[in-house]
Amino acid sequence: MSRFVWLILPILAVSAFAQEKLTATVDRTTLRVGESLTLTLTFEGSASGVSEPKVPPLEKLQVAGGPFTSTSFTIVNGRASSTASFSYILRAKEAGQGMIGPAKVVFRNKELASNSINVTILTASASAPGAGKDMKGGAADVFIRVTPDRTTAYVGEQITLTYKLYFARQIASPEIARLPRATGFWVEEISAPQQLTLTDEVINGRPYKAAVLRKLALFPTGPGELDVEPMVINTKVETQSRRRSLDPFDIFNDPFFQLGRQFEAVELESPTVRLNAKPLPQTGVPIDYDGAVGSFEMRTVLDRQTCKTDEAVTFTIEIEGTGNIKTLAEPRVSIPPDIQRFDPESSEDIRRNQAKVAGKKTFKYVLIPRAPGLQEIPEIHYSFFDPERGKYQTITGGPLRLQVEKGSGGGMLPSGIAVASKQGVENIATDIAFAKTQAGSFTIPGRAPHRGIIFWMGAAAPWAALLSIVATARIQRKMSGQQRRRDLLRAAFKETQAAEKALKTGHIEQAAQHAAVALDSMAESAVGQPCAALTPMELEDIWRSQQLDTELLQMIRDVQDECDRARFASGTFSRESAGQLVRKVKTVYAGIERLLGKGLL
């Protein structure tokens, strides 16, 4: 053992850091429009003192993700080196000869530039790239699988797609770069737990961790073969370090002596899903069929059984079941002529937390009886196509009866025309009204009406009223927007408190989950719209268009990355790191609250 120590000490004594330099490499130089490559900027030197590089000039390419950073420390043949890697995912925008210009970093007040790289971009291919192909040395280490509950359905019938992420190595900072496009479908997103649940699965004899990313309910709007385009995810995957030398004394280049883990930026793409939509049967179609598909029940009710003339009565129709609730058409209702009917107010209560989209759609009518007596609303029929049974069904509601007593009014419509009663129409005049033989005068003799101030005041009054209404509406809209921002900030504050409470009890992942929810509420409060479905590039564009603090946006992104690492890299996130994460969330909250207080939001 002593000989070994004396052998190592001279090596350490003569070690020196390598000369600093910045190198740019790509995983491929030929790609097609819409495909991606990984640009890696490697700084060799003292990685602790280097700044994040500026994005290099790009031609025919755009940044789709990154930077993803990693550092390492090695000793090769007695020479010490410390490296920092910054990886970017670049997507090809157009065909032609593309170029990645020199990237620059600042190290000890000295600017270093990398080499430039030329790439060839071909026209888009008809076939989309497979999932995980952009990762070096192991396309099966991480991938996305899409599972439909059925591949053939009737028009309007639900098809559920489940997107699952599988990984055999540790991953970090996954983010959705592009949502799946489903042209020809009505899409409803099925609610899933905010915190991803990991399960163990074995595929082709290899164990994987699996997590459900997204569930979509698709309703075909027309017959034929329809494609659902891929979902794209950017993430970082842990790589296995390899020995660089056969030198038996090069023990510090072994992965055991590496400082920190090595991660590689990858882009994952789910496969395209082809589905077949069958047309609805053309036989046995009810006369009143309006396109509803699913399984439903109907309930009709009046809020009272007796009333007086000119009193309002609420007539409610509820259609409940499984199917595309939002597209259910209004039932065909026949109202007696002695009852004045107003257009219905409709509302939906949709449940998306189960296998089938279900819920209830309500139609509320305001009815005003204008004549006394027993009034009857005839039976209501509603037809739909049941895909499980493969045939059309009709449900009924009613009939309903309403006893109307004579009120204090005259039973007149707002227009002043009397409603016909069962006794018939009475004659209100028995003579002929003679025609006027001389024309009348509409002006005061000797005076033109437009020369008076009252005429012009009357002409300007409607415009003044209109301007006042518009100004009031704008003020109310602005005040309601600010109130919503304050409500979102309050929700973020509560989530931050919940994160602190979870941290005190030792629930690290739960604290990170509360912190992530708080960040989403803060970002939505800042930009004024939900950010869960926005890509990082879209969020940055909206942020810049509203001229908000870019440093605050960068802080939100950094904290979101740490939240993702805590959720996906189970067991590698310490309590101290979680405490720093919660403190950063509180700093972001203070920044958003400061902008709102200054009226900048």
- Residue 223 clears pLDDT 50, i.e. is over it: yes
Enumerate the β-bridge partners of residue 383: 394
Q: How far is CA 424 from CA 231, 421, 428, in A?
A: 69, 6, 12
Pair of tokens at residue 395: 């449900």
- Residue 58 clears pLDDT 60, i.e. is over it: yes
From 500, 530, 533, 534, select the one nearest 514 (Cα to Cα): 500
Q: What is the pLDDT of residue 125?
A: 47
Q: How far is CA 75 from CA 107, 147, 356, 527, 591, in A?
A: 21, 47, 59, 48, 44
**Residues 523, 543: Cα–Cα separation, whole Å:** 9
The matching CATH number, chosen from 3.30.1360, 2.30.30, 1.10.1060, 2.60.40, for 1-126 is 2.60.40
- Residue 14 clears pLDDT 60, i.e. is over it: no
- The residue that leads in pLDDT, 162 or 441, is 162
**Residues 375, 341: Cα–Cα separation, whole Å:** 13
- Residue 246 clears pLDDT 70, i.e. is over it: no
Lowest mean pLDDT among 200-209, 326-335, 532-541: 532-541
- Residue 281 clears pLDDT 70, i.e. is over it: yes
Is the separation of the CB atoms in 440 and 446 below 8 Å? no
Lowest mean pLDDT among 297-311, 365-379, 508-522: 508-522
**Residues 390, 384: Cα–Cα separation, whole Å:** 11
pLDDT digits (tens, 9 = 90+) for 341-366: 888 888 888 887 777 888 999 999 98
Strand-by-strand arrangement of the 30-32 sheet: 30-32, 117-122, 96-100, 58-59
pLDDT digits (tens, 9 = 90+) for 81-136: 677 788 887 878 888 888 899 888 887 777 888 889 998 888 764 333 333 443 33
Lowest mean pLDDT among 168-182, 462-476, 534-548: 534-548
Site of tokens 């989403």: 520
Looking at every residue in the chain, the average pLDDT score rounds to 76
pLDDT band for 384, please (50, 70, 90 cuts): very high
Q: What is the pLDDT of residue 129?
A: 36
Site of tokens 């309050």: 490
Encode 564-601: b = buried (16+ Cβ within 10 Å), e = exposed: bbbbbbeeebeeeebbebbebbbebbebbbebbeeeeb
Q: What is the pLDDT of residue 362?
A: 93
pLDDT band for 419, please (50, 70, 90 cuts): very low
pTM of the model: 0.48
% of the chain exceeding 70 in pLDDT: 75
- The residue that leads in pLDDT, 427 or 305, is 305
Strand-by-strand arrangement of the 171-178 sheet: 171-178, 232-238, 263-269
pLDDT digits (tens, 9 = 90+) for 508-565: 777 777 888 887 887 777 777 776 656 677 777 777 777 777 777 777 777 777 776 6
pLDDT band for 9, please (50, 70, 90 cuts): very low
Lowest mean pLDDT among 249-253, 465-469, 506-510: 249-253
The topology under which CATH files domain 294-405 is: Immunoglobulin-like (2.60.40)
Is the separation of the CB atoms in 271 and 230 below 8 Å? yes
Mean pLDDT along residues 262-273? 84
Is the separation of the CB atoms in 588 and 523 below 8 Å? no
Q: What is the pLDDT of residue 296?
A: 92
Q: What is the pLDDT of residue 29?
A: 82
**Residues 411, 337: Cα–Cα separation, whole Å:** 13
Q: Say if domain 128-243+262-279 classifies as CATH 2.60.40.
A: yes
Q: What is the pLDDT of residue 386?
A: 92
- List CB contacts of 227: < 8 A, sequence separation 6 or more: 183, 272, 273, 274, 275
Which amino acid is present at 357? V
Q: What is the pLDDT of residue 260?
A: 52
Mean pLDDT along residues 14-31? 70
From 291, 167, 186, 196, select the one nearest 228 (Cα to Cα): 186
From 330, 297, 328, 326, select the one nearest 315 (Cα to Cα): 330
Q: What is the pLDDT of residue 580?
A: 80
- Residue 595 clears pLDDT 90, i.e. is over it: no
**Residue ranges of E strands in 439-566:** none
From 587, 600, 500, 589, select the one nearest 547 (Cα to Cα): 600
Q: What is the pLDDT of residue 191?
A: 66
Helix (H/G/I), strand (E/B), else coil: 71: strand
The matching CATH number, chosen from 1.20.120.330, 1.10.8.60, 3.40.630.40, 1.10.630.10, for 474-597 is 1.20.120.330
Encode 24-50: b = buried (16+ Cβ within 10 Å), e = exposed: bebbeeebebbbbbbbbbbbbbbbeeb
What residue ranges of the chain are covered by domains with CATH 1.20.120.330?
474-597
- The residue that leads in pLDDT, 380 or 204, is 380
pLDDT band for 435, please (50, 70, 90 cuts): low
pLDDT band for 499, please (50, 70, 90 cuts): confident
Q: What is the pLDDT of residue 402?
A: 87
Q: Checking DSSP bridges between strand 117-122 and strand 30-32, what pairing results, if any?
A: parallel
Q: What is the pLDDT of residue 113?
A: 86
Q: What is the pLDDT of residue 600?
A: 59
Pair of tokens at residue 80: 């010490």
Encode 284-315: b = buried (16+ Cβ within 10 Å), e = exposed: eeeeebeebbbbbebebebeeeebebbeebeb
Mean pLDDT along residues 327-336? 88
